[in-house]
Structure 1
Amino acid sequence: MNNSKKVVRFRNLPNELKPLLSVPTPLLLKSLENTVAILQARGEDVVDWDNKNRRICQFRMIGGKAYFLAEKREGK
């Protein structure tokens, strides 16, 4: 098996979202970050599923992989 090829799988992506496959990953991550900022401006925290005391605040590419960065929620 040739390990040099990256295997990409998508679960039933709706047709209207397929054009987004050509958008660069850093731009998609910035879009996620902007969406989180808008939700926070509305008073909604996006929290870490595994640690409810942490809220998502940034998305970054580090070493070619996508990560979310979270901070501790104050007063919760």
Structure 2
Amino acid sequence: MQPYDWAIVLYYAWPIILIPAGWLVLGRLCRERAASGASMIELREQHLAETYRMSAVMERIAAVLEKNRGK
């Protein structure tokens, strides 16, 4: 194989290397972010945790109301 053969291989292979790399870079740059800088996944996780917390509070309120209703 002659030295210039590598140049030909690189010339024809650059899209195979550059397109996936560009895809990854654009994916990182275009990720949805909130004003606080948190990603949308982090916001959804926070919302889910808040929903669980509120559900537990509502269940405690319902238990107290049921207990007082029986009196």
Normalising to structure 1: TM-score of the pair? 0.30
Say which structure is richer in strand. Answer: 1
Q: Which has the larger radius of gyration?
A: 2
Q: Which gives a bigger RCO, structure 1 or 2 (Cα 8 Å, sep 6+)?
A: 1
Say which structure is richer in helix. Answer: 2
